Amino acid sequence: MKILITILLMAVYLTASAQDDEESWNRYLDQLGEIEDVEGTGWASAHEILSELAAHPIDINSATRENLLQLPFLTEQEVEEISEYIYRYAPLKSLGELAMIRSLSYEKRQLLLHFIYIGEEKEQGFPQWKNIIKYGNHTFIATGKVPFYERKGDKEGYLGYPYRHNLRYTFNYGNAVKIGIIGAQDAGEPFFANRNKVGYDFYSFYAVLQNMGRVETLALGRYRLGYGCGLVMNTDFSLGKLGMLTTLGRNQNNIRAHSSTMQANYLQGAAAKIKLTKGLDLSVFTSWRKIDATLTDSGFIQTIRTDGYHRTQTEMDKKNNASQMVAGGHLNFFKKGYHLGITGTFTHLNQELHPATAALYRTYYASGNDIWNASMDYGYNGSHLTINGETATGSCGAIATLNTLSWKATSELSLMAIQRFYSKKYYSLFSQSFSEGGRIQNESGLYVGATWQPSRKFQMMAYGDYCYFPWPRYQVKEASHTWDYLLQMTWLPEKWKIGMRYRLKRREQNNADATALEWNTQHRGRLSVAYDTGVWSSHTQGDLAFSAADEKSFGWMLSEQLQVKYHWLEVSASIAYFHTDDYDSRLYAYERGMLYGFNFPMFYGEGIRYWLMGHVSLLKNLKLTAKIGTTNYFDRSSIGTSYQEIAHSSMTDAELQLRFKF
C-alpha cells in the first residue's frame, strides 16, 4: 500500500499538461446548479453527457442541426443561426468566426469551444465504410478509485472488494459514427463472482449512426431519448431552473447513446429518426430490458430501483428480477420557426406494478402491467419570441401540461415565463421535466425569469417561482406551497471572473409532531473570485447557508483552488474549511476530478477538505491523471452510517485514470 501511495504522489507531482481543459464547462455546470440539481441523478447524468461531448467534440464544418441540438446549453435560435452560418460559409477556417453569430454571447462562445472543433473536409452524406474503418478514432479509458479506509460493509455485508473501477472504449468517426462499450463496478460489488460471472456488475453497449440519407439517426443497443418538454419521454436530462434561462425552454427531439455508467433511465434495443420529407420527421423506438425491482410476497413490483447498487445479498437479489418492454414514436413537423409534434409510448411490465399506498403521498403513483402515454408538443421559434409547450395524458386518465414563453426584449435583456400543471393522478415512467417536486405529478406553478447582459463583461440572471402541491407529499401531510427566488451576477474584468449569488426559498413542511404545517425558510449565498493569467489560476469561493423551521441552522464554507500550467507541468490543488450546524445547512462545492467523474461533494458538520491532482503525458497518445484527496472531520469520531460507516474521523481516496487514443 505504501508503494501505491508513493506512485500516486509521484504521478501527481511529476505531471504534464495532458488532459483537455474541463474547468470552464464544469464551472458552468456548477454556476447553474442548485442543491436539488446536485442531489438528483439528473445532474450526474448531465455531467457524464457533457464529459462525453467534450471527449468527442463535434466537427463544426460537417455539423447538422441534429448534431448541434446535442449541446444542451444552446437555444433553438442559436442552433438555427449556427446551422445557417455553416450552410452559407462552410468550411470555417477558425473558431473565431463564431463571433459573427449575433445570438451567441461571449460566454456561450467560450463554452462552445470545449465541444466543437474544425475538422478536415469530408465527403458529403454518410462516409464510406472503408474510410470509417481506416480513419476512425479509438479511445480507451480505465478509471479506478482506491479508498485508504475500511467501511463496515467491507468487513461484513458487502459481496465484493472496496475498489471502484470502470473501463470505456469508444470508436468514432467525425459526427457520423459512434460505437462504444462500458464496464462499471461500484465499491462493494462482486467482480467475476456471485451473479456477476462475466466480470463487471454493469455493461453498456451502444452504436449511433447519423446522416444516413433519410435516416438522420440510428441507435442500437442502449440509448436515451428526449421528446417535447419531457412530459412523456425524457431519459436524457434537464439543467434545472437556471438552465432554463440559458436555453429559453428549448424543446427536445433527441436520440443519444447511453454512454454512461448510470444503471437506470435508459432504453435498450433500437431507435431511429427518419426524415419523411422536408420539415417532417418520424422517430420510432423499441426497447426490452431487465430492471431492478423490490417485489412483494405476492410477486408484485412494489418499487422500481434506480440506484444501481448490488453490494449486499439483499441488493443483489433485486437485480434484474423484472423486465420492461417499451415501444413508441414521435412525429415532428417544423417549418419557418413553427413546430408541432406527437409522442406516443406503451410500456409493459412482466409483473404488475403495485406501489405501497399506505403512505398517502403514494396514492397516485404509477401502477399496473400496461401503461400508455401520449402527448402533443408545439411551439414557435423566432428571432425575438419563442413559445414551447407540451400537453400529455395516458392510461392514468389525467393530464399534464407545461408551457414556456421567452421574449428577447433587446439584445441585452431576455424574459421568460413557464406555466405548468401536473395533475395529482398523472404519471409516466419516463417523464422528466421542469418541476419543483422532482416528479411530473401533483404540481402546478408559475416561473418568471430574466437574463440581463448589458456588456460582454457583466451578466445578471434572476428568477421567481411559485408552486402549489394539491395533494400530500413526502413529509408533508396536506396541500402545500413553495416560493423560490434567485439572483445571480457575473462580472468579467480582464483576467478576472467575479460571481455572486443569493437564493431565498420558502416551503411548507410538517412540524416536529406532524400535526400541522410550518414554513421552512432557507437562505443561501455565494461569492466567488477567479483569476487566470494563462500560466496559473486561482478560484476563491465563500458559501453561506441558513435554514429556519423548528430550529435554526447556519453553515459556511471557504475554499481555495489553485492551478499551475507551465510548459509540460500542470498541477491543481484545493483546500476548503466548512462549518455547519447540521445537515439542513449542508453545502456543496465543485472540485476537479477524473474525466466523466461527477465531483460536487456535500459537506456538513465541521472539517476540512483538501486534494491534489495532476496529469502526465507518457506518450503522444497516452495520458495519466492522478488525484488524492482527504476529508477530515473535527466534530465526529466516525463517518457515515450502516454498512457505509467508517470508524475514523477522516477519509482519504486516490483516483487514477489512463486514457489512450489511437
Task: Summarize pLDDT for 228-260 with one digit per residue, the tens.
Answer: 999 999 987 666 777 777 776 677 788 989 988
Residue 527 has pLDDT above 90, yes or no: yes
Average pLDDT over residues 461-481: 94
The three three-digit cell numbers of residue 122, written as one number: 469530408
The SS3 assignment for 8 reads helix
Question: With contact defined as beta carbons under 8 Å apart, do 638 and 34 qualify?
Answer: no
| Residues 65-90, mean pLDDT to the nearest whole number | 80
pLDDT at residue 70 is higher than 60: yes
Question: Distance between CA atoms of 429 and 565, rounded to whole angstroms?
Answer: 47
Q: Tens digit of pLDDT for each residue in 275-326?
A: 999 889 999 999 999 999 999 988 899 999 988 999 999 999 999 999 999 9
Calpha distance 507→458 (Å, rounded) = 32
Q: Residue 305 and residue 307: Cα distance in Å, rounded?
A: 6
pLDDT at 269: 97
pLDDT of residue 6: 37
Q: Can you give the pLDDT at residue 180?
A: 95
| Closest-CA residue to 81 (of 307, 383, 483) | 383
pLDDT in tens, 107-159: 778 788 888 888 776 556 788 888 888 888 999 999 999 999 999 999 989 99
- pLDDT-derived band at 8, boundaries 50, 70, 90: very low
Identify the residue with better confidence: 199 or 437.
Answer: 199
pLDDT at 14 over 60: no
179-188, 252-261, 371-380 — which is least confidently predicted? Answer: 252-261
Residue 380 has pLDDT above 80, yes or no: yes
Q: What's the pLDDT at 231?
A: 94
The band of 21, judged by pLDDT with boundaries at 50, 70 and 90, is low
Mean pLDDT of 30-44: 63
Other C-beta atoms lying within 10 Å of the C-beta of residue 480? 20
What are the b/e assignments for 411-433, b being 16+ CB within 10 Å?
Answer: eeebbbebebebbbbbbbbbbbb
pLDDT at residue 15 tops 50: no
pLDDT over 90 at 363, yes or no: yes
pLDDT tens profile 554-586: 999 999 999 998 777 789 999 999 999 999 999
pLDDT exceeding 70 applies to what percent of the chain? 92
Instruction: Please tell me the predicted confidence (pLDDT) of residue 263.
Output: 86
Each residue's pLDDT tens digit, 607-662: 999 999 998 887 778 889 999 999 999 999 999 999 999 999 999 999 999 999 98
Determine which of 202-206, 354-358, 424-428, 633-637 has the lowest per-residue pLDDT on average.
354-358
* Mean pLDDT of the residues in the chain: 87
Give the pLDDT band (50/70/90) at residue 379.
very high
pLDDT band at 357 (very low <50, low <70, confident <90, very high): confident
Using CB atoms within 10 Å of the CB of residue 495, give its burial: 0 to 12 exposed, 13 to 18 middle, 19+ buried. Answer: exposed
For β-strands 443-455 and 587-588, DSSP reports them as unpaired
Q: For 255, how many CA atoms within 13 A lie in the half-sphere containing its CB? A: 30
Higher pLDDT, 136 or 71: 136
